[in-house]
Amino acid sequence: MQTDTRFYIDGQFTDRPNAPLLPVVNPATEEVFGQVAAGSADDVDLAVAAAKRAFASFSKTSPEERMALLERVREGLEARTEEFAQAIVTEMGAQIGFARAGQVYFGVEHVRVAIEVLKTFRFQHLLEPNPGAPITIRREPIGVVAAITPWNWPLYQITAKVAPAIAAGCTVVLKPSELSPFSAMLFAEVMHEAGCPAGVFNLVNGTGDVVGNAMSGHPDVDMVSFTGSTRAGVLVAQGAAGTIKRVVQELGGKSPNVFLPDADFAGSIPKAVMGAMRNCGQSCAAPTRILVPADRLAEVEQLAADAANAIVVGDPLDEASVLGPLANGPQFTKVQGLIEAGIAEGAKLICGGPGRPEGLTRGYYAKPTIFSAVTTDMRVAQEEIFGPVVVIMPYTDLDDAERIANATVYGLSSHVQSASIDNARAFAHRIRAGQVHINFPAWSGYAPFGGYRQSGNGREYGVYGVEEYLETKAMLGY
């Protein structure tokens, strides 16, 4: 049994041996393999006080000093890649190859990008709209940041918040998901080994209703950066409202992947299926709605079924597996319920379905599942399933495709496939989402990420991510 009762507060690991313990379950075995201490509001008070004290000096450091700190963090993460990968496999079930090349690699990349942004970011510049009346604009760190991260991308979501916050000159109190806490504890060790000044980074484990609520409503927290469900995001925003703090949220998604009539269906439908099911579909930006011309539906169904049936689901430590289990029991139950709902509502099941894949009798494994002939009124077209489930939705013309693509409460990400870049660009303008990916481009940590509508507010990644942690001061007559 792996037990860790430490928090990281004010530059040191502080043991809480008498705190209640939270179990951590290996989703491949359904067995408890570890436990961590559950923090309290008092622990949050200590961490926030440390961050507030540290902010007084850290906010005045130079970009070069912060770059040097982040570079040491990046080196520490890279040196411990395998430790992070193994932890992520065990605590949330990511397949080992994907844990290394996706979960950990992209997490390190967020730190590298923050360093690159700092190299050219202008924290002060001059405006002169009228001769002789200069205005100096200064960008200053917002203060103490409460970062609340989810279980589906444990390291990636931490670095996407901590790295730009530190780049901006802020101090941080982190609450990682209690379902995937061990990779976060490794991150705290990396921060400590990198010589992070006391109080600049703090970590308190615990539940959202205790630690998360205490952080979001704390009067000395200046900003909350939250990634998670839309339901939880509402609670965070309500908790933060009493102190009028900034809240940046990256919430749910139901992203469309629109195949225009001239797209390469044979080459791109398999990519679309795999892209939607990466990380077992447990990604808020997963393009789980595939929109295709109605007269190509039968062809697409066959291509999609072939792609899904070729996906090997199994032990996440087995290099031959493509997908491991879903990350936890509640998520498994949710996914199974929505698959049943799709069948009940009349969606056409073309592969997969309820239950575990053949030969797997324990673990939160789900079958790669494809529904077709799905309409916008079905739950599987509207609700974020967060599992290896894809719905195919036929459209009659481009106006109909636009209507279907935008027929959700979300607007996080989207994809467009077309042989004509002009056609793809034109359709990209019609989608109400924070990102549009045209013809499967490479992921970039510089591209701002965030959503329209109930997918959240604010942006992460790159220069836009750093700017979220800054206030704007205008100095007239400076």
Query: Which residues are part of the catalytic machinery?
Result: 250, 284
- The bridge status of strand 2-4 relative to strand 415-417 is unpaired
Check if the beta carbon of residue 70 is closer than 8 Å to that of residue 167: yes
How would DSSP label each residue in 185-217?
HHHHHHHHHTTPPTTTEEE----IIIIIHHHHT
- Contact present, 31 and 325 (Cβ < 8 Å): no
Give the chain's length.
478
DSSP 8-state symbol, 441: P
Neighbours of 379 (CB within 10 A): 15
Collect all residues with Cβ–Cβ distance below 8 Å to 72 and sequence separation of at least 6. 194, 195
Q: 177 — alpha (psi -120 to 50), left (phi > 0) or beta?
A: beta
Nearest to 42 by CA among 1, 62, 14, 81: 14
| Structural contact between residues 401 and 416, judged by C-beta atoms closer than 8 angstroms | no
Which helix H or strand E contains 224, and what residues bound it?
Answer: strand 223-227
Using DSSP, state whether 392 is helix, strand or coil: strand
Angstrom distance (rounded) from CA 406 to CA 258: 11
Q: What is the dihedral of CA 190, 114, 212, 473, to 10 degrees?
A: 130
> 93: closest CA among 143, 24, 139, 162?
24
